[in-house]
């Protein structure tokens, strides 16, 4: 079996933000990417940092021809954070923090103070989709690193309408992919210097629904490529920096963990975190039995680790204090490309991510004109 792709926090998508933080005069204690910094030092009028959700190396290789503008301008292959998911990676990108610092590890976390698994973006109970009012959350909305700059750039964000931001005056909302690129074009045509952080929700949504290799995914990925090329050709004195929060893989099968009565009886709460990076809180009296049982039954599709081992290995970053959110064990999906269904309402996605396989690889795309 191929080796897992662990995060490299000297060559990760987080290090793009670390480099930009240093360039914009923000506080930064993390390694920077020299190739990107050398380009930034040319002092462009506009600097545009785009995070295209799900457009990792695997979807690019499957869906874009070699001569397309996005594929042919990949300067470096980087790793994502782990778990390789939007919740985790975008918080790292926006806040210039390791996962172990910010704690937004995955779609669902266990909140000890209310004894529930919570879909943390939505404040919704993972087991039944009920909206929750939660006091004393163990994680908080961290400040964006570029909200505290020492620079002559005007700071802008471009987000979907559903994203809540603290600084609405700097934010530009969009609904469609076309709107996304139109917003960027409007900002960079202003007379003064502009920095933009822009997040595009596609092609992640389409790949989840139809799969990475689907005609639907190819269509939306090529549309993104073509709309970007149109934008690029209209601009001048602008540096574009493009990456993804993670990639995706085509899913080959499903494992109904919540149907395994013996497994569930050993747990304090339903499994949580994500479908290819599953956290378990195990009853003390079952810990040895749990390891033996899980490994005997599921070790082809998931490798079980003690959470402390992964923390000590630096998989969530070299420092931080949010380890209690990760449970006792984490099962990581292998190259059989299956996902675990953690609750009766878990979705059977056709494309997914969150593991340490091909979804971990993301591009650093740099273009200037």
Comparing 287 with 70, the larger pLDDT belongs to 70
Q: What is the pLDDT of residue 162?
A: 86
Question: What is the pLDDT at residue 295?
Answer: 97
| CA atoms of 108 and 125, how far apart (whole Å) | 9
Segments of the chain assigned to CATH 3.40.720.10: 14-99+140-250+357-368
Residue 133 is predicted with a pLDDT of 87
> Rounded to an integer, what distance in angstroms lies between the CA atom of residue 90 and that of residue 210?
23
Q: Contact 194/183 with Cβ under 8 angstroms?
A: no
Percent of the chain with pLDDT over 70: 100
What CA–CA distance (Å, rounded) separates 40 from 195? 12
Q: Residue 184 pLDDT more than 90?
A: yes
Alpha-carbon distances of 190 from 162, 168, 183, 277, rounded to whole Å: 26, 18, 12, 43
Count of residues for the chain? 369
Q: Are 56 and 27 in contact (CB under 8 A)?
A: no
pLDDT in tens, 242-267: 999 999 999 999 999 999 999 999 99
pTM of the model: 0.95
Question: Does the pLDDT of residue 299 top 70, yes or no?
Answer: yes
Mean pLDDT for 124-132 is 90
pLDDT > 90 in the chain, percent: 91
Compute the average pLDDT of residues 136-161: 91
Give the mean model confidence (pLDDT) for residues 200-222. Answer: 98
pLDDT at 17 over 80: yes
Q: Could you write out the DSSP letters of every residue in 117-177?
A: EEETTTTEETTT--B---SS-SS--PPPGGGS--SSSEEEEEEETT---S-GGGEEEESSH
CA dist 237 and 361 (Å) reads: 29
The CATH label, of 3.40.50.280, 3.40.950.10, 3.30.70.1150, 3.30.1360.180, for the domain at 252-348 is 3.30.1360.180
Fold for 14-99+140-250+357-368, please state it.
Answer: Alkaline Phosphatase, subunit A (3.40.720)
CA gap 70, 265 in Å, rounded: 49
pLDDT confidence of 168, banded at 50, 70, 90?
A: confident
Average pLDDT over residues 179-186: 97
- What integer is the mean pLDDT of 137-152? 90
- Cβ(82)–Cβ(99) under 8 Å? yes
Mean pLDDT rounded to a whole number for the chain: 96
Nearest to 279 by CA among 54, 58, 126, 123: 126
Rounded alpha-carbon distances, angstroms, from residue 302 to 62, 298, 329, 341: 25, 6, 12, 13
pLDDT at 120: 92
pLDDT at 1: 64
Among 273, 320, 276, 329, CA closest to 302: 276
**What's the pLDDT band for 179 if we cut at 50, 70, 90?**
very high
Q: What is the model's pLDDT at position 233?
A: 95
Question: pLDDT digit string (tens) for 262-291?
Answer: 999 999 999 999 999 999 999 999 999 999
CA 153 – CA 159 distance, rounded (Å): 19
Give which of 38, 29, 35, 32 is closest to 16, Cα–Cα.
32
For residues 81 and 6, the answer to whether their CB atoms sit within 8 Å is no
The band of 90, judged by pLDDT with boundaries at 50, 70 and 90, is very high
**pLDDT over 80 at 151, yes or no:** yes
Q: Can you give the pLDDT at residue 149?
A: 85
For CATH 3.30.1360.180, list the domain ranges present in the chain: 252-348
Question: Is the pLDDT confidence value at 27 over 80?
Answer: yes
Residue 38's Cβ-count burial label (10 Å; 0-12, 13-18, 19+) is: exposed
CA-CA distance, 271 to 279, in Å (whole number)? 6
What average pLDDT does this structure show over 75-86? 98
Q: What is the pLDDT of residues 317-363, one digit of tens each?
A: 999 999 999 999 999 999 999 999 999 999 999 999 999 999 999 99
CA 48 and chain centroid, separation:
19
Cα three-residue angle 132-133-136, rounded to 5 degrees: 120
């Amino acid at each position: 079996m191929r080796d897992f792709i662990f995060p490299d926090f000297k060559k990760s998508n987080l290090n793009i933000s670390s480099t930009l933080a240093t360039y914009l005069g923000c506080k930064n204690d993390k390694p920077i990417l020299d190739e990107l910094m050398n380009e930034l030092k040319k002092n462009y009028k506009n600097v545009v940092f785009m995070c295209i959700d799900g457009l990792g190396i695997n979807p690019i290789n499957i869906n874009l021809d070699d001569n397309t503008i996005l594929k042919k301008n990949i300067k470096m292959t980087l790793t994502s954070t782990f778990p390789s998911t939007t919740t985790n990676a975008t918080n790292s990108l926006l806040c210039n923090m390791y996962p172990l610092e910010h704690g937004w590890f995955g779609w669902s976390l266990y909140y000890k103070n209310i004894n529930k698994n919570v879909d943390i973006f939505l404040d919704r109970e993972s087991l039944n989709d009920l909206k929750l009012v939660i006091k004393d959350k163990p994680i908080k909305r961290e400040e964006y690193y570029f909200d505290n700059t020492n620079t002559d750039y005007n700071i802008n964000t471009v987000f979907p309408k559903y994203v809540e931001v603290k600084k609405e005056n700097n934010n530009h909302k969009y609904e469609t992919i076309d709107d996304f690129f139109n917003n960027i074009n409007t900002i960079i045509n202003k007379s003064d210097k502009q920095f933009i952080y822009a997040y595009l929700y596609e092609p992640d949504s389409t790949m989840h629904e139809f799969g990475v290799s689907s005609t639907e995914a190819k269509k939306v990925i090529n549309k993104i490529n073509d709309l970007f090329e149109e934008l690029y050709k209209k601009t001048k004195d602008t540096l574009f920096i493009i990456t993804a929060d993670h990639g995706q893989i085509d899913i080959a099968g499903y494992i109904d963990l919540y149907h395994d009565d013996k497994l569930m009886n050993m747990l304090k709460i339903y499994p949580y975190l994500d479908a290819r990076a599953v956290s378990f809180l195990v009853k003390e009296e079952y810990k040895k039995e749990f390891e033996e049982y899980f490994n005997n039954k599921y070790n082809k599709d998931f490798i079980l680790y003690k959470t402390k081992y992964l923390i000590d290995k630096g998989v969530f970053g070299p420092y931080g204090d949010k380890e209690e959110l990760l449970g006792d064990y984490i099962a990581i999906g292998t190259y059989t490309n299956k996902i675990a269904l953690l609750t009766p309402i878990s979705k059977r996605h056709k494309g997914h991510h969150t593991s340490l396989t091909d979804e971990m690889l993301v591009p650093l795309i740099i273009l200037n004109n």
